[in-house]
């Protein structure tokens, strides 16, 4: 009997974290993919991920508009509440055999609560990792609500067991984003100029035939009132380094309005003259841009996950990724603009790009589909614990 697998994607990064699993689920003879796109993944100002998803050939079964304007702690909580109410209706309509929730964004807890309270087996992808701030609490809450755990690394596997989950429900699959990294690395050398030319951005044209860097800086929820000052320090560092820069817009988190305002004010005052801004790219294109760069700067998890596999140098700023497993590609710095600028300068002197396979070997998607096709989803067994 075919199992209906409902995957809920709530943000731009969540899609790249699950894309190859979506392909494997769609193509598996014993699985039927149901795709729900929600929250910031629907909004153009945060990259319009739904357009990328549909252009990749996926059928979207439902959309859920749930983001409350404001990008602060109150609106994050309210958005989660709206999502919970709407997703309950969606699950009642679709009647899936299981629901997949991804990682640690605040919207994901709405998916988990709705599925758990409706007795729908919940599958959590990327549980057990440490990231700090509210994201880590959300990730572990998702783990405790989930029935099946698809973890990406050894330390996460151990941590989910320590959280009290039964070993037979925990599967070390690796992360599907590493599948994309493998594909990008194995592809023919990319014409970076052609890639960036396909996307509408803001700012001066950047000659990417010359060495360039990528910036992706998100607000830290527990430091949301400092997001503008932190963005300004990074802006000063990028100005001081004076390198061609591709800057990607922040996620919709508490404090993102402060980050965005800092960028707009800087541009109005003639700063970031060698910087071009982008909302989003196709995941494979983005990874090819990273491979062609001198490195990535900011606090995105891509610096620690995909870039570890790719060997792309990374300057990780501040506390957002505190505690997460990282490879030899990462240099950690604080928020001081001088320290950030010095770390950027060092990227121009690196002669080696070591690779580490912390988050998988590039074949997670098909492992995930096989687990979903064969796992025991009896809700009675799911609710039985052995302490």
pLDDT per residue as tens digits for the range 304-332: 999 999 999 999 999 999 889 999 999 99
Q: Is pLDDT above 50 for 386? A: no
CATH 3.40.50.2000 domain range(s) in the chain: 3-175+360-382, 182-347
The string of pLDDT tens digits covering residues 173-206 is 999 999 999 999 999 999 999 999 999 788 888 8
H helix or E strand, kind and range, residue 338: helix 337-347
Q: How many CB atoms lie within 10 A of CB 180?
A: 24
- What average pLDDT does range 242-257 have in this prediction? 88
The string of pLDDT tens digits covering residues 124-135 is 999 999 886 788
Domain 182-347 has what CATH class? alpha beta
Note the pLDDT of residue 380: 58
Give the whole-number percent of the chain exceeding pLDDT 70. Answer: 97
Give the whole-number percent of the chain exceeding pLDDT 90. Answer: 79
Between the two ends of the chain, the Cα-to-Cα distance in Å is 33
By the 8 A CB rule, do 381 and 125 touch? no
- Confidence grade of residue 259 (pLDDT, cut at 50, 70, 90): very high
CA distance 82 to 25: 28
Q: Where are the alpha helices (DSSP H) in 11-151?
A: 12-16, 19-27, 49-55, 73-94, 108-117, 133-145
- Looking at the domain 3-175+360-382, which fold is it? Rossmann fold (3.40.50)
Q: Is pLDDT above 80 for 356? A: yes
- Confidence grade of residue 345 (pLDDT, cut at 50, 70, 90): very high
């Amino acid at each position: 009997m075919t199992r209906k697998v409902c995957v809920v994607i709530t943000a731009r990064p969540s899609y790249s974290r699950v894309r190859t699993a979506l392909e494997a689920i769609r193509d598996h003879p014993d699985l039927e993919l149901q795709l729900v796109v929600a929250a910031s993944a629907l909004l153009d100002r945060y990259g319009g991920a739904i357009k990328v998803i549909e252009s990749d050939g996926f059928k979207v079964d439902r959309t859920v508009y749930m983001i409350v304007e404001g990008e602060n702690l109150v609106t994050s909580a309210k958005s989660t509440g709206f999502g919970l109410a709407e997703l309950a209706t969606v699950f009642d309509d679709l009647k899936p055999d299981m629901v997949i929730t991804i990682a640690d964004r605040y919207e994901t807890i709405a998916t988990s609560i709705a599925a758990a309270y409706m007795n729908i087996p919940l599958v959590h992808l990327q549980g057990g990792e440490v990231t700090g701030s509210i994201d880590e609490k959300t990730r572990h809450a998702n783990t405790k609500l989930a029935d099946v755990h698809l973890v990406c690394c050894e330390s996460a596997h151990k941590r989910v067991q320590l959280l009290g989950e039964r070993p037979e429900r925990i599967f070390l699959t690796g992360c599907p984003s590493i599948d994309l990294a493998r594909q990008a690395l194995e592809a023919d050398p990319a014409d970076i100029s052609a890639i960036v030319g396909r996307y509408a951005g803001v700012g001066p044209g950047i000659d990417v035939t010359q060495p360039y860097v990528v910036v992706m800086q998100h607000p830290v929820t527990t430091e949301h009132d400092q997001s503008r000052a932190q963005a300004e320090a990074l802006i000063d560092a990028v100005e001081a380094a004076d390198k061609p820069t591709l800057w990607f817009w922040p996620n919709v988190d508490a404090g993102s309005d402060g980050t965005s305002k800092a960028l707009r004010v800087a541009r109005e005052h003639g700063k970031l003259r060698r910087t071009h801004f982008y909302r989003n790219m196709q995941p494979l294109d983005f990874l090819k841009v990273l491979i062609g760069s001198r490195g990535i700067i900011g606090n995105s998890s891509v610096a620690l996950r995909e870039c570890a596999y790719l060997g792309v140098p990374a300057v990780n700023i501040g506390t957002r990724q505190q505690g997460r497993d990282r490879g030899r590609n990462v240099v950690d710095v604080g928020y001081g603009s001088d320290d950030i600028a010095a770390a950027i300068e060092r990227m121009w002197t690196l002669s080696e790009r070591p690779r580490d396979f912390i988050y998988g070997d590039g074949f997670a998607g098909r492992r995930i589909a096989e687990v979903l096709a064969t796992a025991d989803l009896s809700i009675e067994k799911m609710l039985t614990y052995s302490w």
